[in-house]
Structure 1
Amino acid sequence: MTLTLLAAAKTAPAETTAAAADPLADLRHYWDASVGWVNTHWLQIGIAVGAGLLIYFLLSMVRRFALKHALSAEGEMTFTHIAGRVIHKTKSFVLAIVAIRLVAGYAQPPAIIMQFVQFVFTIAVVMQVAIWAREIVLGLIQRRAAEGHNETLSNAMGIIRLLISVALFAIAAIVILDNMGVNVTGLIAGLGIGGIAIGLAAQGIFSDLFASLSIIFDRPFRVGETIKYDTSTATVERIGLKSTRLRSLNGELLVISNTNLLSKEITNFAHLHRRRITFKIGVIYQTTPQMLRDLPALLEEQVTAAGHEFIRSSFLSFGASSLDFELLFDVFSDQFDEVAAARTDVAIRLFEAMATAGYEFAYPTQTTFTAAPDGTMIMPYPESPKPKPAAAKAAKAT
């Protein structure tokens, strides 16, 4: 009896292993379980199928209505238009698998069928979310490009779409693998190391690319605007992916990499609603004190008569050959040509008024003193005659 039990114990694992290794036996087992489930829960299955079809129909109607409403909105690249693009990218297969997942529990399917539904549902939803995220990001970027009519961003949409797609679908693949029970720690580490290696290898290219995107989105300047970069004043002609082209005031074409352009201070002259002009006016030292007191009022009168805003006028310094005054006034215009014309007009008005009032403009002068061989100073101008001491005494006695 004991020998019989031992023999049965030895042969049982072998039979179980053989059955597990036989795929036909597994398929037969799953088939029998499925047939038994259908025969036992046919009513629940029918109700679940009907409910799933109804849910799929309702979701399809909602998608169709939302898409029609979004596409009927006025304007391009609005938030409604972006929402329409996202809805348009919603796949019918995703709606179907969502409907199946919602009603699968009611039909009480076998564990293997439920696991399969859950697996397909996870893949479909994760990929659909990645597609939605890509459309939202690309839509916002294109909306930004449409607002500024930016040719550079429009040309860069190809590489931007590629980078965003790779990043989002890589994340989606990691999420799917993690839900399948795969250890993704090594994969994430490998992707991180690979990304660092690629970033270091293409550091210069990515640096200029991101600098270009910073210029496009932050908009420190636009095409056609006049800026001052370092010591150069120029007009922006084109913003590229790697460099920006500027046309200087003298006509030269300046090509500057975007990284270097953003690394220094930039002065933008485009959005000045007023421009301040400063004049330094020097008059000769022979000007009388009263004329010096009257000069600020005269300057203010001429600026006001020209239609500009007077800021201040005051004595500045004792120059080497002039008494220096400072004049500040504002011109309300954002056009440089109008500002230049206003500056010329005010300058001519000041010259005419000061000449009429008797003011003389100072210019650099220098007086040279010489001496005789005996050391006596020879004055550069004639001396007034002085009476001799003897003659003075005689005149006093008389």
Structure 2
Amino acid sequence: MDMYVSMLATISAMDPSANIYIDDRLGRLIQIAIAFALVLLVWILRKKITNFFVKVVCRFLKQENNSRLQSELVVLYTPLQWLVVFIALHLSVSYILPITIQAYLASIPWGVGYLLLIGWGSANFVDVLSKRDWNTVGHMNKTLLHMTFKVVKYLIWALIIVMILDQFGFNINGLIAGLGLGGLAVALAAQDAVNNVFGCVVVILDKPFEIGDWIQTPDVEGIVEEISFRSTRVRTFQNALVSLPNSTIASSIITNWSKRDKRKLLFYVNLTYSTSKEQVQNIVTKIKEYLVSSPDIDTNSVIVGFEVMNSSSLDIKVECSVLYNDGKKFLAVREKINYAIMDIVKEEGGDFAFPSQSVYIESMPK
């Protein structure tokens, strides 16, 4: 640029009548340089500008100490940074650049850029809200909330697309009328999609399961991770993710293991045949007393008895219901019961049997 300015100065010295032309060119160069510098400066400071804007908003909402809100607003940082740069570019082109260049760039659809950036930020924020832990609502209400957030996200982008089409001069009313005329063809071609949506409505209203439930169908067993308009995603116990069409799952037999208020526990205590009758009776009595006194066991469900004499053991049946549905808590209770039974058998002088065979030799070979 220095060479360009020195060249203009030389021309001015040679021909004084060129001063007006030179001043005009210098003015344009300065305007272009200012516009470029403004955009470059905003680009360099975009993160600081965005952080300042977010802090001002939090202070205005009196949420400057709300760490959760500030962490959620992080998803807006990238769209906001691009929005700040886009505003600087728009201002530079519209007000700082020379009029001739402004006229040349007047056809740029700036509104489209603003709409896309606003839609991007809004959709991101809706995603963050959908991932919140809504502790104040029930599980099925959480599912309904997630579905509502998805609908809002789709509506945001649909509105953005309609407004962009309007920016380009499309007749929105005519477009909607055209969609109405083609609605029958679309409906016929999208029967499966419509069935899946109705299946989703059935799942939400009938509430056979919720997100986080352990379910079993004829096709899959696992934990429900997501319920969308098209499908329900289930994480199997082999850590595979299975997507079931809602139309299929709505008409399937579903076993919801998470709806149990208790879990049944059934096993056998196998004692050796060297255990006496009195020892067996005492062991049965003490196991029953332990289970009845346990706060983790449904008292009315306790069944303990000497059931059968097997080929290699005396079998005591132990049956009860644990007052927990959670797998970890259930295992912890079962572990406590096992330790207690080991202590009881040891106290009574009994011993645990294991599958065995006795070989009797009538005579030794000579």
TM-score normalised over the length of structure 1: 0.42
TM-score by length of 2: 0.46
